[in-house]
Amino acid sequence: MTELTELTIHEAYALLKKGELSSVDLTQAYLDRIDVLDGRLHAYLAVTSDETLEQARRADERRAKGEDDPLLGIPVAYKDVLCTQGVETTCGSKILAGYKPPYTATAIDKMEARGAVMLGKTNMDEFAMGSSTENSGYGVTRNPWDTERVPGGSSGGSAAAVAAQMATAALGSDTGGSIRQPASLCGVVGLKPSYGRVSRYGLVAYASSLDQIGPFSRSVADAAVLLGAIAGHDPQDSTSVDMPVPDYIAALTSDLKGVKVGVPKEYFIEGIDPAVERIVRAAIDQLKELGATVQEVSLPHTDMALPVYYLIAPAEASANLARFDGIRYGPREQGDTLWDTYCQTREAGFGPEVKRRIMLGTYALSAGYYDAYYLKAQKVRTLIKQDFDAAFEDVDVIACPASPTTAFRIGEKVDDPLQMYLSDVFTLALNLAGNCGISVPCGFDDDNLPVGLQLVGPAFGEERILRAAHAYEQATEWHKRVPVLSG
């Protein structure tokens, strides 16, 4: 018999709809599993047990009255960068310890309107700055496939929770790869929507022109349901685009006849793990067997994406994080003067990686350097977007690795920022261009660590990548493998 916590959204929905399962029983199974496993994995920063079960009871009552929705009564987790009214939201930072927002993020509001049940808030790199979830102010999250390794980041808690069957699904955020890279390292599906597809209202900002909320799930079909739930225009977010939300489930097919897949030559480079390259190339061959036409494409400014990202993102962060000064949010370190209070609060509250990026961004924006660094980076960003636009004139989707390596050991890169930043070398260009991307499990290396195939689409081309990812998933068994965990 299938354990309740192994069910996908679609499988659980079928049982709930037939009355063979209650949301309370399903939710309790997850709470029990979290209680057994999370002491080892530390995927959660907060588990809202009492409120969670009350939401499950309300979901069962709604279904009993005739409501029917695939998300009604489904237990999900939320990255701690998303505001939840009355529930502590720390962004993985000591500077927000104890902060309980007076409102809830639009994406979560939409999930709750559909009847989803919140299990809790997941661990993350502080203010979403990191690729390993080692930068959290509240401890490291461990990868369920090997607890001596990282789950990726910054949404590592959400990815680990879904991989370890401690949530049916989860929401994370992706500024430069923070959904797709941990999805790859944890062997789950992770989708970064196009910039503007999902409201950012209630998402605590890291880099406002790059951040986007997206889902983690165990299947592509589940990701399609979740995206359909959270997508759409929001008048409270001026960057959300006012355009219709497609029926993403209707886009899912089992073949890829007529689909043109591009393989960027710049993404198979020196330094990529040979096992990752071999496994991803085998996955691309599978796309061909499903009827796709595969051709090489060029994204010539790819090598500039990393430096451009690490100028633009920290510059935006230095402005966005100026609000955390001990006056309005979180704990305060009282100094002799107002300036001392600011300095001492930020010194005590921010971790080293956040301080590094604030300083880098402030430098890039400072007088005498703005034109040389920030402005030039924005011009090159336009060139990177033009590369993708040109490629998508010839192909429908682009296929490449999500991460250059499988999960690395805890502590292995934490003292080498450049090596850590290179973990996102295949993902961050999409954020600069505003495109959509998905990571889907495509194999395992010799250490039994998962590898993700990244499928990239143009802005608002989510139907394309979901179709390609679903067809690949249905033709393979990789997504069915789960880590072996015990108390």
In a domain, 350, yes or no: no
pLDDT band with cut points at 50, 70 and 90 for residue 328: confident
In a domain, 330, yes or no: no
The domain total for the chain is: 1
Question: In terms of residues, how long is the chain?
Answer: 487
Residue 270's φ and ψ, nearest 5 degrees, are -65, 135
User: What does R_g of the chain's alpha carbons equal in angstroms?
Assistant: 21
Q: Check whether 392 has a pLDDT greater than 50.
A: yes
In a domain, 304, yes or no: no
pLDDT band with cut points at 50, 70 and 90 for residue 418: confident
Q: Check whether 330 has a pLDDT greater than 90.
A: no
Tell me how many helices (H) and strands (E) the chain has: 15, 11
In a domain, 487, yes or no: no
Written as six digits, the tokens of 232 are: 């759409």
C-alpha span between 51 and 40 (Å, rounded): 24
pLDDT in tens, 42-80: 999 999 999 999 999 999 999 999 999 999 999 999 999
In a domain, 440, yes or no: yes
The set of catalytic residues is 79, 154, 178
Other C-beta atoms closer than 10 Å to the C-beta of 244 total 8
pLDDT at 487: 57
C-alpha span between 315 and 207 (Å, rounded): 8
pLDDT at 1: 43
Least confident of 1-15, 130-144, 201-215, 393-407: 1-15
* Average model confidence (pLDDT) across the chain: 96
Least confident of 103-117, 257-271, 384-398, 454-468: 257-271
Using alpha carbons, list the distances in angstroms from residue 442 to 12, 52, 317, 401, 426: 24, 33, 34, 10, 16
CATH number for the domain including 138? 3.90.1300.10
pLDDT at 486: 65
- Is the peptide bond preceding residue 155 cis, with omega within 30 degrees of 0? no
In a domain, 11, yes or no: yes
Which DSSP letter does residue 424 get?
G
Least confident of 358-362, 439-443, 463-467, 482-486: 482-486
Percentage of residues in the chain with pLDDT exceeding 90?
95
Least confident of 3-7, 141-145, 336-340: 336-340
Non-local (6+) Cβ contacts of 340 within 8 A are none
pLDDT at 33: 97
3-state secondary structure of 177: coil
Domain that holds residue 241: 4-266+272-299+386-480
In a domain, 48, yes or no: yes
Tell me the residue type at 246: P
pLDDT at 271: 83
pLDDT band with cut points at 50, 70 and 90 for residue 206: very high
- Is the peptide bond preceding residue 154 cis, with omega within 30 degrees of 0? yes
Written as six digits, the tokens of 51 are: 């409120």
pLDDT band with cut points at 50, 70 and 90 for residue 394: very high
In a domain, 420, yes or no: yes
Written as six digits, the tokens of 245 are: 């939300």
Q: Check whether 97 has a pLDDT greater than 80.
A: yes
Written as six digits, the tokens of 324 are: 């955390």
Sheet (strand 397-401) strand order:
44-47, 117-122, 75-79, 169-174, 212-217, 189-192, 436-444, 450-457, 397-401, 260-264, 293-297
Q: What is the mean pLDDT of residues 88-114?
A: 97
pLDDT band with cut points at 50, 70 and 90 for residue 2: low
Q: Tell me which of 151 and 327 has the higher pLDDT.
A: 151
